[in-house]
Amino acid sequence: MSTATTPRTAPAPAAAPSTARVTPWHLLRSEWIKLWSLRSTYWTLALTIAVLVLLAWAMAASYDLAPEAFRGADGGAVLIYNLLGPGQVFGPLVLIVLAALTVTGEYSTGQVRSTFAAAPTRLPVLWAKGIVVALVTFATAAVGTALSLLLGGAVEPALQANWADPEMLRVVLGTPLYIATVSLLGYALGALLRNTAAAIATAIGLVLVLQIVLGFISWKPLEYVRPFLPANAGSLVTVPEELLSAEGMGASAVDLSPWGGYAVLVAWVAVILVAAAVRLRTRDV
């Protein structure tokens, strides 16, 4: 009589250790996929372009109603600055939300643990996210600015950009550059605070509320503070020299050049990012 035996199963071979290495390109591609996998990204970018274009349309449509408000020669840098100016104020506010959510969203869902498990050194993740945010926000603002110029010139011929003006390129390209850098400020605050509401509120407070509030306070020491606020300083990269030297640009004890003001905004972003990097390396998730 034979005894039934159960066939023995050979043990599974041990998995070979992975030799894959997470490169900066892998991280960039990963962050790019994460950003575009969210439906809110498309809505946010579309809303930003709509805000820029609609504000430019409103300015162009009001040209005949208040032509005295548009100083400068037809198509000159001053007129184009007036056309794009409102978008420079309100356009970044939408992108600040997206930039902050890029990093705070992972902390709120816990996905950041998986991200850091794949990239244990952590800091490359911070830089990769920042690069993706900068590229996407700059491209979005550039599209919105281009459409604003086209629509403004179509509504009012006097607002067709005169590219022979030596300051035109700085005013036009400075607009998406400024908007993208302000968005990076929101990203940096999100990386530092790791809380969506706190990051958005702080960023909007710095670029909008604080400069409005301090603008109403007539106190001599504040004349040394206002020029170095992020929005006041960074937006100078879009302002024509004619307006910078004109009276009424605001009481200030410090005169910054357009690129000097932009450097101040970059310094704000850099300092906050360094603080975020220190926290990232010295504290657990």
Using DSSP, state whether 15 is helix, strand or coil: coil
Domain ranges of the chain: 24-282
**Structure-derived torsion over alpha carbons of residues 215, 216, 221, 224, reported in degrees to the nearest 10:** 10
The per-residue pLDDT for 138 is: 98
Check residue 171 and report its DSSP letter.
H
Query: Of 176, 202, 209, 235, which is closest to residue 97 (Cα–Cα)?
Result: 202
Check residue 209 and report its DSSP letter.
I
Which residue type, as a one-letter code, is found at position 264? V
The per-residue pLDDT for 71 is: 60
The per-residue pLDDT for 249 is: 52
The whole-angstrom separation of Cα 99 and Cα 41 is: 10
Q: Output the pTM of the full model.
A: 0.88
Query: Of 82, 110, 85, 268, which is closest to residue 192 (Cα–Cα)?
Result: 268
Cα dist. 18→22, 119, 201, 202, 228 in Å? 11, 14, 43, 42, 50
* Average pLDDT per block of 10 residues along the chain, 285 residues long: 48 46 87 91 95 95 72 74 93 94 90 87 93 97 97 90 91 96 97 95 93 84 88 94 67 81 97 96 78
The per-residue pLDDT for 146 is: 97
Yes or no: say if 71 and 165 are a contact pair by the CB < 8 Å rule.
no
Rg value, the chain, Cα: 25
The whole-angstrom separation of Cα 10 and Cα 67 is: 87
Yes or no: say if 100 and 191 are a contact pair by the CB < 8 Å rule.
no
Query: Of 252, 283, 256, 253, which is closest to residue 267 (Cα–Cα)?
Result: 256
The whole-angstrom separation of Cα 278 and Cα 95 is: 25
Q: Which two tokens stand for residue 179?
A: 């908007």
Which residue type, as a one-letter code, is found at position 17? P
**62: Cβ–Cβ under 8 A, 6 or more apart, which residues?**
69
CA atoms within 13 A on the CB side of 147: 17
